[in-house]
């Protein structure tokens, strides 16, 4: 599943092409994504509107329009967005194509159809944090996200720390890959109970989360088979993984053998010597 860095990379790629473009039409193959494609709302709010900005909230892309409506896209597990010449061949899973005024199309391809498209009307866009993002925590780069914030939320709780930081209600957009890497950087075992972690360690963890995510964004996102950036180039952050997917390999710090366990149904990788 594309994680926050991958979505941020797509956002930055689209920012180079979409602002100033008018959506002249769209095509849908009639198949539902996670929910039915809101074709009536797309007709009412997208067609004829000019794109003014592209932003990101958690793992969602927000395409802002000059009529103050916003199209909110989630890539799901296998979704990709790409820009193609209007008359170029479409692919089997190009479920929705947005026609632009420069003879290009933005195509939403989603093999497993777990992605989604939400159209927020001008009135609805004013309250997105209390509707669409009501249960979404702060962004990892927001000032409110701090060691003190995590320590206060963790008080008297026994949840494993990896599950804690992957909870989108706690902080937005930290998926399995970058949770593993951040915890390794902070020297915290994924299974450690959150109430037992010190404020000092939480401050280190927040710094590591930001560092790992920023590095991933700079590298173009992790190379996973279902992700392409808007420019059509795969990311390559996976070459920098320290523990993720490295079960049985030597730790890059101490050469101890990296272990794998399951937490919350997800694979967790850690060094038993470096992470306590």
Active site residues: 2-3, 59, 266
Question: Strands 23-28 and 94-100: what pairing?
Answer: antiparallel
| CA separation, residue 186 to residues 201, 202, 255, 258, 263 (Å) | 7, 8, 17, 16, 18
> Distance (Å, rounded) from C-alpha 49 to C-alpha 148?
43
DSSP classification of residue 237: G
Joined together, the tokens standing for residue 99 give: 């026609």
> Distance (Å, rounded) from C-alpha 116 to C-alpha 62?
12
Spatial CA neighbour of 81 closest among 100, 101, 57, 98: 98
Question: Angle, to 10 degrees, between the axis of helix 199-219 and the axis of helix 176-186?
Answer: 130
Question: Strands 259-263 and 266-270: what pairing?
Answer: antiparallel
Radius of gyration of the chain (CA): 20
DSSP classification of residue 251: P
> Distance (Å, rounded) from C-alpha 143 to C-alpha 151?
15
* Helix residue spans in the chain (DSSP H): 4-15, 39-45, 147-154, 161-165, 176-186, 199-219
């Amino acid at each position: 599943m594309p994680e926050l860095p991958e979505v941020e990379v797509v956002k930055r790629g689209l920012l180079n092409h979409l602002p100033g473009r008018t959506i002249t039409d769209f095509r849908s193959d009639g198949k539902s994504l996670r929910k039915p494609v809101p074709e009536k709302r797309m007709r009412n709010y997208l067609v004829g509107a000019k794109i003014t900005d592209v932003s990101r909230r958690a793992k969602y892309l927000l395409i802002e329009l000059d009529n103050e409506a916003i199209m909110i896209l989630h890539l799901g597990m296998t979704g990709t967005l790409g820009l193609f010449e209007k008359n170029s061949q479409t692919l089997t899973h190009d479920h929705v194509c947005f026609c632009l005024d420069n003879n290009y199309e933005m195509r939403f391809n989603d093999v497993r159809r777990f992605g989604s498209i939400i159209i927020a009307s001008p009135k609805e866009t004013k309250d997105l944090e209390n509707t669409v993002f009501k249960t979404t925590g702060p962004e990892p780069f927001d000032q409110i996200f701090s060691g003190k914030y995590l320590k206060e939320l963790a008080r008297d709780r026994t949840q494993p720390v990896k599950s804690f930081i992957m909870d989108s209600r706690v902080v937005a957009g930290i998926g399995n890959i970058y949770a593993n890497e951040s915890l390794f950087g902070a020297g915290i075992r994924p299974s450690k109970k959150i109430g037992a972690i010190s404020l000092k360690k939480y401050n280190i963890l927040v710094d590591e989360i930001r560092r790992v995510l920023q590095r991933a964004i700079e590298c173009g996102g992790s190379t996973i088979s279902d992700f392409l950036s808007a420019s059509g180039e795969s990311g390559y952050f996976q070459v920098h993984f320290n523990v993720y997917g490295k079960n049985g390999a030597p730790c890059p710090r101490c050469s101890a053998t990296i272990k794998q366990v399951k937490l919350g149904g997800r694979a967790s990788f850690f060094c038993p010597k470096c992470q306590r």
